Amino acid sequence: MPFPARFSRTSPRKVGLHGRNLLECPVLNKGNAFDMRERDLFGLHGLLPANVTTLERQVARATRRLAALPDNFSRHVALREIQDRNETLFHAIIAQSLEHYLPIIYTPCIGRACRQFSQIWTRPRGLFLSYEDRGRLADILSDPQWDNVRVIVASDGGSILGIGDQGANGMGIPIGKLALYTACGGLDPACALPIELDVGTDNATLLEDPDYIGWRHPRVRGAEYDAFIAEFVEAVEARWPRIALHWEDLAGADALRILQRYRGRMCTYNDDIQGTAGVTAGALLAAIGAGAAPVAQQRIVIFGAGGAGCGIADLLSRLMIADGMDPQEARRRFFMIDVDGLVRQGMAGITDGQRPFAQPADIAAEWHVHDPARLSLADVMARVRPTMLVGTSGQGGAFTRDIIAPMATGTAHPVIFALSNPTANIEATPADLLEWTDGRAIIGTGGPFAPVVFNGQERPVDQINNSYVFPGVGLAVVAGGITRMTDGMFLAAAHALAELSPAAHAHGAGSAPLLPPVSELPAVAASVARALIRQGQAEGVAPPATEAETEAALRHATWTARYQPYEKVDG
């Protein structure tokens, strides 16, 4: 039987808080929607206006106020303030239109929100665990208010989107990710915990900012950093044996090392590495269904060989191997470009994630390039003539007409995914990519873009965003009792996503989107969760269950934004 969710959706909720303490608890506060019976029970008379309203009226009022604000960043700040007061109202607002609100609560607004987090932070949310807290992390986590936690998103603020080291300001990312777990995956906000692992920052601007809320110290690295992470993981394991620990935006090589160290002992995953890979693989499968070259014919250039790029290469190579390709041949199909050019065997500084995809040292012996010691993106594109190009570099404008030209002439439907965020860091705009390929490219971006009109035809622009995968992961862990996250499960997520592709059922590449619309993300999360649970059961990392039991567990685990009636805790 799947591990059951803790929260009843039908019976009255037992509440132990009283008076102002109840009003100050965001997951329980209803504002002036507390009825007279509840005001009697919980001592709320005098603390609230006389009028009793409804959630629907609160949503309508808040929506009018949000619409009157001057820009989306102002709306982001206002929504965060609502979230800190009343989680149910916040998510009821979002549920009106995911497509409208997701760019406000996450990408692209989240980048600016992290830069200015110290200025917009007003109320505690989640946990800031500072390096100076070492030795007492278990005590901090032991607080009873965290008893129901099932999903943690943890970041060290070291590599936030495309804007780099943001220190404690990186807390905006765990908060935003968990908002999407609920908005898209139905995770009960009461079982979500954002954590910022504050190990200092090397961002001089923050260290000199009098408003900066974090630990004013250079970033801790090496053995001291690893010991702090180890203390944190051990405390989490002891506190919550059945937890999903989601790592986000860790600095540099730390991300892959931490994932490899702990993934075999608990249910942990890195969304930058595995979630990005899962949605990219799903989008590629959808593109193949829409006319792109089949898996066996793919030659893939990845510009940006950090955690996300390596995760994409790893999962796509597994896709090729599952399709029958020899593992060594599959890895030879990938050409990864880092700061020192094409990753090749024998190069200094190759990471563990890059090493399996390093090309032979003498690959350029007959290429006749200007600098054989450093093979640029232009060199590789001209000689490899790839079928797929992925950008995870954070270098805005890196894909030019000349860079794309070899793909445009050598591939019927080149697949180009420019995934860097925020929007200013994207490698190329959708409009340019379509122009440079005569409209034949199948494109995707990391952030939201409006449809592009090309030759009089409106072309959708797919957002190849992790929100198509990670909310389903959280739902699967809560509903299905998953104890480990495996590579096979992320492949299963990719196939589940591809099966939902509108493009697979359309006529002509580019005539329909690769991925379902954002408005359908809750349904996508449910499909991904089913696939993960089935794969977890097949691999022995989830308890067996019938299909009917799994469906019942998914329904029970899915939270919706509505006010439950409250009763006092007995005694």
Helix locations, 30-108, DSSP H: 36-41, 55-67, 72-85, 87-96, 98-105
Residue 454 in contact with residue 480, Cβ under 8 Å? no
Residue identified by tokens 């050598």 is 410
Residues 19 and 42 sit within 8 Å (Cβ to Cβ):
yes
Residue with tokens 């039991």: 549
**Edge-first strand listing for the sheet containing 268-270:** 127-130, 192-198, 151-155, 244-247, 268-270
Assess contact for 417 and 390: CB atoms under 8 A.
yes
Q: Virtual CA dihedral for 94, 480, 320, 328, nearest 10 degrees? A: 120
Other residues' Cβ atoms within 10 Å of the Cβ of residue 24: 13
Phi, psi of 290 (to 5 degrees): -95, 5
Query: What's the start-to-end Cα distance of the chain, in Å?
Result: 33
Alpha carbon distance 276, 255 (integer Å): 13
Q: Could you tell me the two tokens for 168?
A: 């404690």
Spot the catalytic one: 30, 101, 177, 225. Answer: 177
* Bond from prior residue into 406 cis (ω within 30 degrees of 0): no
Name the residue with tokens 């200025």.
119
Euclidean distance between CA atoms 358 and 347, whole angstroms: 9
Cβ proximity of 444 and 413 under 8 Å = no
β-strands 457-459, 452-454: how paired?
antiparallel
User: Strand locations in 309-391, DSSP E?
Assistant: 334-338, 341-342, 388-391
Q: What is the DSSP string of 425-485?
A: G-SS-HHHHHHHTTT--EEEESS----EEETTEEE--EE--GGGTHHHHHHHHHHH-----
DSSP class of 504: G
Residue 14 designated active-site: no
| CB-count exposure of residue 570 (10 Å: 0-12, 13-18, 19+) | exposed
Choice among 101, 106, 181, 225 that is catalytic:
106
Q: Report the C-alpha gap between 207 and 169 in whole angstroms.
A: 12
Q: Catalytic site residue 468?
A: no
205 burial type by CB count under 10 A (0-12 exposed, 13-18 middle, 19+ buried): exposed
Burial zone of 79 (CB within 10 Å; 0-12 exposed, 13-18 middle, 19+ buried): buried
Q: Which residues are catalytic?
A: 106, 177
